[in-house]
Chain A
Amino acid sequence: MDLKEKLVSSFLAFENHVDIDCQIHDIRTEAIKTFETEGFPSKKDEAWKYTSLNSILKQDYSVFPKQENAIEYSDVKKYFIHDIDTYNIVFIDGKFASHLSQTTHDGIDVCLMSSALNKPKYRLIIENYFNKVATKDSLTSLNTAFAQEGAYIHIPKNKLVNKPIQILHFSTGSEVALMQQPRNLIVVDENSHVQIIERHQSLSNNPVLTNSVTEIFGNKRAIIDYYKIQNDNVNASLIDNTFVNQKRESHVSVHTFSFGGKLTRNNLNFYQNGEHMDSTLNGVTIIGDKQHVDHNTLVHHIEPNCESHQDYKGIFNDSATGVFNGKVIVNKEAQKTNAFQSNNNILLSDKATINSKPQLEIFADDVKCSHGCTIGQLDDSAMFYLRSRGIPEKEAKALLMYAFANNVLESVKIPELKKRINGLIANKLGVNIGFDL
């Protein structure tokens, strides 16, 4: 039985465990039909031209893990930003791990999707927001069909959330191969501000496939900073589908740091429903071996006087492959739009590949839109400069790559997180640069 058939037939088993007499279940039923009709995307689909899922779909994944697996905090502490106080929503093999989590209902809701879907007090939010910005493509539909667990974050108006929220997914390897489909909903109301860090981490070498969907709603004047740390081991693959719906005067940024994993696909979509807002999409990708990272972004400018900024940097070694497909749509009504997009890449090996494709669809006539894409090697004269100061080749390369990625790091607003990412970069480049970056 291939994975598609397995998933479709699992849906019946899934129905035995959830309330099927609610509105959510109608959405799920609709979604599984979509997935059944469309199946997994293939390279024939324009949006998947450079990313093939074939090799990762061959595994015989467990769709529902059988047991709950306990892990000790001391074993996974290093994956937390632990030197500052944070809220934590932690999952082990897809199941909520209360002993590692710190949730809250004190003025804000930082808790679980499963409770939000089932408890009456969340019904209004669920009705208004759940599956409202997620698209109906096959992978998102697949996630919607099995939507049950994940993070649920609701920040009512006028709240400045005083500590970052971490969403962590661990997989233990107790299953030979595991497929997870977390579903997150984040609603930030008027004038509120929140910072969120998301990370997926496999603790074994068994294959893991995560097909995640996150819906983010930034209401009037909301500020949301979302950081994704993708540094998983080489047998873990991630398809991240994130949808952001912004209202007027809101500021939403998503930073994606992709250093690990076997195959990572980021479908990041912004919809600007209002005026005077900005959207920021930043990414740093540093990969080697046969790793593959694909950033597929969309910014849809719907109304006038808005901005978007995209800055993606990639460093590719060995036989690694990267894809950047950045689409910007400016509606006819969206006059005075400022949309910037830049994608810069360094190839460190003859076998590394990057496919970079900006797509601008502009229907308004009074806009500023720019895009730029570069692909190059490290600058020889810069290398000579550093080496002539006694800095060995390897460290000199690392310094230059750090400098290359630096302006993306500059915009990380949590100092401890920035420090951690600096550490991951130094580690990924295999050097100790000799100072706190």
Chain B
Amino acid sequence: MYDYTDISAFHGVWVFCEQRDGVLNTTSFELLSEGRKLADDLHTELCGLLIGDKVEDLSAQLGGYGADKVYVIESPLLKTYTTDAYTKVICDAVKEKKPEIVLIGATNIGRDLGPRCAARLHTGLTADATHLDIDTAKYLDFLRETSTIDVDSMKWDMEDKGLKMTRPAFGGHLMATIICPRFRPQMSTVRPGVMKCAEFDDIKAKAVKVEKLNLGLTEDDIKTKVLKVVKETKEIVDLLGAEVIVSVGQGISKDPEKGIALAKELCDALGGGVVGASRAVVDAGILSSDHQVGQTGKTVRPRIYVALGISGAIQHKAGMQDSEYIIAVNKQEGAPIFEVADYSIVGDLYTVVPMMIDAIKSVK
């Protein structure tokens, strides 16, 4: 009998490892790397959950990023993602094996799948966590570093081994740590690009255990029909992998073409980078949404982030404030972007950027 309230019956940390067309996404590796730390703190196993058609060969990659074991669920019906089929096999696997934690990448697919699974399993789901802790002591260190809370004047349960899932709310203005004390598994989707990937470990990759799960899945379980999957052959905007990002905001609306050209030139001067955008620029149709940085776009942490003509709504700041060095150029002296900038330049981007490009060229 499956009882979601019987907390002591649940063991192990699971990571749903998303693959599309036989290629694992990097978020899976980030989650495994993070899951490894949680499993170590709990003295338990880290298991990868690999779902698809003929995907067993990918197991070693999961091992290399920290998994002790991989549960493989294969069926031709799982070749392409459908909400119904993936929800069914994950929930059935959870009911059989009873993991205490399940992590899912907050991709378009993960955010479709996670809530459906949590509802079926009658448990909580934290959305888009950016920080996870088991040990209270480690959590308190995190609070000391990232909050103004007077940690040492408060009482804490140092023995607590529940998962503390921290996420931004209200567009990043507020951070909330969420717990799921009464039910298991503790589930969270995790923001792509936030957790750091561990070094790939060849020995662990070879040592990984594989267990195939045979769960009854039939065509009748799937209520939707995928007619086709189309990859758009647009230029890939790799904001997450970029070392340098030059983002443009409403300030370029005077002459968008020139603004974007300047941003690209500045990227080149800085040794190559990616052009990002604020929501205003994306909403105006000047750049496509894959350029968008912020709460509804991507969370980035490049070495250098240059914000050109971006006022700095909290949604935008939430997506870029962890960048190593931030340079902001804005005409408005009081623009909120200057609150997070290391270097603030009040001025017109059309004159400031060429000066920056010249100065950079002269030091190289």
Say whether A and B bind each other. no
